[in-house]
Amino acid sequence: MIPRNPRLAALKAGYLFPEIAKRRREYAAAHPETASPDKRIISLGVGNTTEPILPHINRGLVEGARRLGTVEGYSGYSDEGLLPLREGISRVFYRGEFAADEVFISDGAKCDIGRLQLLFGPEVTVAVQDPSYPVYVDGSVLSGAGGTWTGAGYGGITYLPCTAENDYFPDLSSLPEHSLCYFCSPNNPTGAAAKREQLAALVDAALKKGVIIVFDGAYAEYIRDPRLPKTIFEIPGAKSCAIEVNSFSKPAGFTGVRLGWTVVPKELKYAGGEAVKADWERICGTIFNGASNIAQAGGLAALEPEGLGEIRQLCDFYLENARLIRAALDSLGVSSVGGDNSPYIWARFPGRDSWEVFAEILEKCQVVTTPGSGFGPAGRSFIRFSAFGHRADVEEACARLGRLGTS
Ligand code: PLP
């Protein structure tokens, strides 16, 4: 037999969400009363969308499938994506600033984050916001760049704390030179959306320090404050230091459809002057055969005026859930941030361990949440509440949260 890849063994624990699912199953097995409707477990834990795809976008998907059954409408591999979709994404989300060949259609942002690591290899220094979406760290560990677990984090990763004290934006003097920096805004899990001057400072630091930013804009369509940038490319200079990954998952309910994109500007170069974009084309051509043509037909419908209206409507629905959750936490005196320009609320439980708070909320309220420590060391005393849920479930969960005030 051959030995196990040691990088798999280096992954500290089970991936966060399977671990939460396991604890939920164990709780349900030990509490048969959770089978009854008033005691049923409600999840405000994961970032999976719950509402149906809205009609115009759904018709695009159906029509895309229908066309595949016709001689004139059939299409095979679409390589880096259907041209109208690449052009449409540039036009709708980037004011037409990118040529179609700088926009790469993917089967989702997470999948591209995994593949992007191949561009930089195991030697690169990685920096992440702490807390952050776990894939940046776990993917880096799998690629070899993360190094080994030291007890407080991975040796190859620089954690940039994002806390109440720094407005959930990292101290950029700690950003290592020549590193690969993952940056997510609006952020999962804190819900913080970086201000224009903050992103400008990040781009400035990246240009000065020879850093490449992987900007994750998966929640951009949740931004309601018009002053907040929706993409890193609103910042001058970003084309020379950033890649952006993005997705139809959270704005259009495509978590199960699978469609995203990555922008690799032609200006982006490695230290040796080679174009990053050329290598990304090579990687996509080598280990990825393109997104589903049906999903892309849905994506095209999403970019039409009716589709953009539906995106707005769907995000507004989840933002209203977020407002309800924050109001419930406020009434308990639990301080929280997020939820106004993002579907996540980051609630603070000073001095407590997040898995312990997770267990208390499950025990008293039969509500599943996400322990902040799963997102990085700075999340130790936080709980992430997700606004992805049916309205009735969110209302019921909010009512039950009232039990936390009692012993
Ligand atoms: N990026 C962030 C920050 C996320 O929170 C998620 C999903 O939760 C993703 C990317 C995954 O997106 P996709 O469904 O396109 O793979």
Domain positions in the chain:
6-53+307-402, 56-304
Whether the predicted pLDDT of 244 surpasses 70: yes
- CA 238 – ligand 1 centroid, Å: 22
pLDDT, position 18: 83
Query: CA–CA distance from 272 to each of 58, 63, 242 (Å)?
Result: 45, 46, 16
Q: Which is it for the CA torsion 401, 404, 406, 407, positive or negative? A: positive
Residue located nearest, by CA, to atom 12 of ligand 1 = 109
Whether the predicted pLDDT of 15 surpasses 80: no
Residue located nearest, by CA, to atom 7 of ligand 1 = 47
Please choose from 249, 262, 341, 388 the residue to mutate so as to test ligand 1's pocket, defined by most ligand atoms within 8 A of CB: 249
Closest-lying ligand 1 atom to the alpha carbon of residue 255: 14
Query: CA–CA distance from 314 to each of 180, 216, 367 (Å)?
Result: 33, 20, 23
Please compute the mean of the pLDDT values over residues 123-146 and round it to a whole number: 96
- CA 36 – ligand 1 centroid, Å: 33
Lowest mean pLDDT among 2-16, 226-240, 241-255: 2-16
Residue located nearest, by CA, to atom 8 of ligand 1 = 47
What is the pTM assigned to this prediction? 0.97
Whether the predicted pLDDT of 17 surpasses 90: no
Do 56-304 and 6-53+307-402 fall under one CATH topology? no
Q: What superfamily would CATH give domain 6-53+307-402?
A: Aspartate Aminotransferase, domain 1 (3.90.1150.10)
The DSSP-derived string for 11-26 is S-SS-HHHHHHHHHHH
Residue located nearest, by CA, to atom 5 of ligand 1 = 188
What are the tens digits of pLDDT across the range 348-379?
A: 999 999 999 999 999 999 999 999 999 999 99
**407: pLDDT confidence band, cut at 50, 70 and 90?**
very low
Query: CA–CA distance from 166 to each of 50, 148, 172, 192 (Å)?
Result: 33, 28, 11, 11
Query: What mean pLDDT, rounded, does the chain reach?
Result: 95
- CA 108 – ligand 1 centroid, Å: 7
**Residue 5 gets which letter from DSSP?**
P
- CA 298 – ligand 1 centroid, Å: 18
- CA 251 – ligand 1 centroid, Å: 11
151 vs 312, more confident = 312
Residue 152 burial (C-beta neighbours within 10 Å; 0-12, 13-18, 19+): exposed
Please choose from 105, 188, 190 the residue to mutate so as to test ligand 1's pocket, defined by most ligand atoms within 8 A of CB: 188
Q: Say which CATH architecture domain 56-304 belongs to.
A: 3-Layer(aba) Sandwich (3.40)
What are the tens digits of pLDDT across the range 273-283?
A: 999 999 999 99
Q: How far apart are CA 20 and CA 292, in angstroms?
A: 30
Please compute the mean of the pLDDT values over residues 219-232 and round it to a whole number: 98
Whether the predicted pLDDT of 16 surpasses 80: no
Number of other CB atoms surrounding residue 193 within 10 Å: 25
- CA 59 – ligand 1 centroid, Å: 24
- CA 39 – ligand 1 centroid, Å: 30
Closest-lying ligand 1 atom to the alpha carbon of residue 47: 8
Where does ligand 1 bind, in terms of residues with CB under 6 Å?
47, 108-111, 133, 184, 188, 216, 218, 247, 249, 255, 260
